[in-house]
């Protein structure tokens, strides 16, 4: 079987559409993040989180209203995989054992006879959450910086670095934007926690993989086809590597989808970020990163001529 054996798409010419499309998505994401705010999970916000498993299904809406008074604030309550499992997140400074006992005593009066077990509890202090948030931010910035420097050294041109970084930031921003919007209605946990940061960094790594393969081809082709115009050469490189880009994207998309469907409730948000990331990463490597390199190179040349 062969896909895209000798393709000849004009990726670079499509860049205006791509820029418009990506620009709109990025702007929408930024607006979503600024207006709705990033939906921080317990890792970055602090507080207490519990996952309970009941014998019989329970009503989330009813629970929310019943628990608001004893807890002193509206708790965040979600189903956790099935109708019998629920996740409760509480912003409180009181002792976690007290919160737990409070919730359990409400349960027993609300649902007498419905046995409940505690599957998971998390407590993150506000200061520690702040530390984790700063650490996460640094790690993303640091990762992008390392990528910039490495590509600069390996491909000897700042426009390669710039093209790659813009594409990566694009991927990360849009994933965050989608997560922010999805927080309004998603049926699984899409809060931004450490696992999502890990997913974002993996997306950075993955998207970069694709981009670097194309860059490598550009580097190689520029030696073989010395006289070819830069734009056509970049386009040729994109086409040369297209079949590989598609195949790898397909296999990776397979596995992250498997993870999303079968990986269990704990990994749902993480796997979902990866699914988005693989799609966006492939798209940005094909349509954004290389187009930017062409554009930046052109401008650099013009500046030189002057």
Rank residues 178 and 208 by Cβ distance to another protein and give the closer one: 208
Rank residues 74 and 97 by Cβ distance to another protein and give the closer one: 97
Please state, in angstroms and rounded to a whole number, the distance separating the CA atoms of residues 228 and 129.
Answer: 54
Rank residues 187 and 251 by Cβ distance to another protein and give the closer one: 251
Residues 187-206 that bind another protein (CB under 8 A): 194-195, 197-198, 201-202, 204-206
**Chosen residue from 252, 282, 284, 290 binding another protein by CB under 8 A:** 252
With H, G, I as helix, E, B as strand and everything else as coil, classify residue 53.
strand
Minimum CB–partner distance for residue 35 and another protein (Å): 26
- Provide the CA 284 distance to its chain's centre, in angstroms: 14
Structure tokens at 160: 């390669």
Say if CB 83 and CB 231 are below 8 A apart: no
Residues 56-95 that bind another protein (CB under 8 A): none
Rank residues 20 and 142 by Cβ distance to another protein and give the closer one: 142
* Interaction between residue 256 and another protein (CB under 8 A): yes
* Interaction between residue 9 and another protein (CB under 8 A): no
Instruction: Phi first, then psi: give them for residue 83, nearest 5 degrees.
Output: -70, -15
Site string for another protein, 92-131 (x = CB under 8 A): ----xx-------------------xxxxxxxxx-xx-xx
Rank residues 64 and 244 by Cβ distance to another protein and give the closer one: 244
Residues 162-191 that bind another protein (CB under 8 A): none
Residues 203-222 that bind another protein (CB under 8 A): 204-206, 208-209, 212-213, 215-217, 219-220
Minimum CB–partner distance for residue 261 and another protein (Å): 8
CA dist 157 to 204, 215, 233, Å?
20, 11, 16
**Chosen residue from 73, 83, 108, 138 binding another protein by CB under 8 A:** 138
* Interaction between residue 243 and another protein (CB under 8 A): yes
The stretch near another protein (CB under 8 A) out of 33-41, 104-112, 134-142, 289-297 is 134-142
* Interaction between residue 36 and another protein (CB under 8 A): no
Per-residue burial over 212-244, b = 16 or more CB atoms within 10 Å of its CB, e = otherwise: bbbbebbeebeeeeeeeeebebbbbbbbbbbee
* CA 53, 54, 59, 63 torsion-angle sign: negative
Say if CB 245 and CB 284 are below 8 A apart: no
- Provide the CA 57 distance to its chain's centre, in angstroms: 32
Find where tokens 């499309």 sit: 21
């Amino acid at each position: 079987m062969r896909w895209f054996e000798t393709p000849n798409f004009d990726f670079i010419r499509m860049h205006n559409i791509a820029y418009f499309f990506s620009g709109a998505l990025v702007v929408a994401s930024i607006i979503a993040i600024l207006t709705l705010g990033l939906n921080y999970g317990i890792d970055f916000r602090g507080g207490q989180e519990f996952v309970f498993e009941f014998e019989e299904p329970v009503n989330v809406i009813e629970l929310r209203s019943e628990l608001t008074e004893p807890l002193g604030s509206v708790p965040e309550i979600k189903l956790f995989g099935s109708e019998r499992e629920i996740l409760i997140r509480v912003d409180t400074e009181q002792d976690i054992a007290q919160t737990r006992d409070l919730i359990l005593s409400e349960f027993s009066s609300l649902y007498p006879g419905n046995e409940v077990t505690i599957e998971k509890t998390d407590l993150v202090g506000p200061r520690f959450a702040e530390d984790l948030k700063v650490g996460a931010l640094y790690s993303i910035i640091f990762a992008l910086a390392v990528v910039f420097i490495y590509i600069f050294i390996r491909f000897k041109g700042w426009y390669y670095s710039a093209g790659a970084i813009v594409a990566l930031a694009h991927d990360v921003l849009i994933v965050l934007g989608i997560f922010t919007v999805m927080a309004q209605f998603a049926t699984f946990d899409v809060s931004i926690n450490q696992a999502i940061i890990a997913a974002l960094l993996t997306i950075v790594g993955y998207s970069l993989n694709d981009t670097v393969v194309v860059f490598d081809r550009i580097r190689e082709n520029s030696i073989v086809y010395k006289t070819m115009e830069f734009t056509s050469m970049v386009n040729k490189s994109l086409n040369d590597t297209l079949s590989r880009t598609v195949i790898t994207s397909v296999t990776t998309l397979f596995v992250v989808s498997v993870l999303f469907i079968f990986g269990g409730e704990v990994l749902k948000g993480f796997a979902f970020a990866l699914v988005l990331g693989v799609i966006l990463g492939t798209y940005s490597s094909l349509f954004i990163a290389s187009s930017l390199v062409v554009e930046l190179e052109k401008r650099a040349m013009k500046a030189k001529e002057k």
